[in-house]
Amino acid sequence: MARVSALLVEHRCWTDGAPAGAPAPGHAVVTRPGGSPRLVAAKVGFGIWLEGEPGVLHGFCP
């Protein structure tokens, strides 16, 4: 989890609702099956969150 936390802090991500005034997410921190946490396009995060694609969404980032 240390890697996830580091990525979330480094890229100013949010894990709950977007902060007031935040831009639409452009990136997400995710862990795909068999992979390690990494920063990806927001589209990948939305696929996990909304479409049930495999993986874990940790947070969205600007």
CA 6 – CA 2 distance, rounded (Å): 6
Helix ranges (H only) for 1-62 are 2-10, 42-51
Q: For 6-34, write each residue's pLDDT tens digit.
A: 999 999 999 998 889 989 999 999 999 99
Structure pTM? 0.94
* pLDDT for residue 39 is more than 90: yes
For the chain, what percent of residues have pLDDT higher than 90? Answer: 89
Instruction: Quote the pLDDT of residue 1.
Output: 83
Q: In Å, how far are 20, 21, 45 from 38, measured between CA atoms?
A: 25, 25, 11
